[in-house]
Amino acid sequence: MDSTPDRPVALLPIHPEYVGLIASGDKRAEFRRTLFAKKPTHVILYATSPENRLVGYFSVAGIDHESPRRLWDLHRGSSGLSRERFFKYLHGKDQAMAIRIGEFRPFRAALRLADVGVDVPPQGFRYLDGAVLTTLEHYV
């Protein structure tokens, strides 16, 4: 694992339907309206309501900062989204981000946010110290 405190991991809330697509390998890019200031080594997925749990994490294979149109051209076949839903999500943004999904590691059992020291789900994303991956390795 390539993780240090100066290379954080990101905690992302994601709708449960997309968690399934990531787990199956059908979704290989996760899009965000807000750009990362620091590139994380890994992303921990928090499945939003009704699951409300941590489901696994993936390594970051790369990050593309581009216009929505360019991101669609690059990732439409691996987006897990329809064209309409993609552009609706990124409407009004000049720049957005595609996180290229590396190896996905699901957790054996449901984890709570408190298991990674978080009380409230993040709105867009939240950085965590890279050392959290050592703890999470016990759950995969």
Tens place of pLDDT for every residue, the chain, 140 residues?
A: 454 555 799 999 999 999 999 999 999 999 999 999 999 999 999 999 999 999 999 999 999 999 999 999 999 999 999 999 999 999 999 999 999 999 999 999 989 999 999 999 998 899 999 999 988 998 99
In a domain, 135, yes or no: no
Taking a C-beta distance cutoff of 8 angstroms, is the pair 88, 82 a contact? no
pLDDT at 110 (0 to 100): 83
Closest CA to 110 of 47, 41, 34, 60: 47
Q: How many residues does the chain have?
A: 140
Question: Checking DSSP bridges between strand 9-14 and strand 42-47, what pairing results, if any?
Answer: parallel
pLDDT at 1 (0 to 100): 47
Query: How many structural domains compose the chain?
Result: 1
In a domain, 57, yes or no: yes
Domain that holds residue 48: 9-130
In a domain, 136, yes or no: no
In a domain, 138, yes or no: no
Helix (H, G, I), strand (E, B) or coil at 122: coil
In angstroms, rounded to a whole number, what is the distance separating the alpha carbons of residues 28 and 134? 24
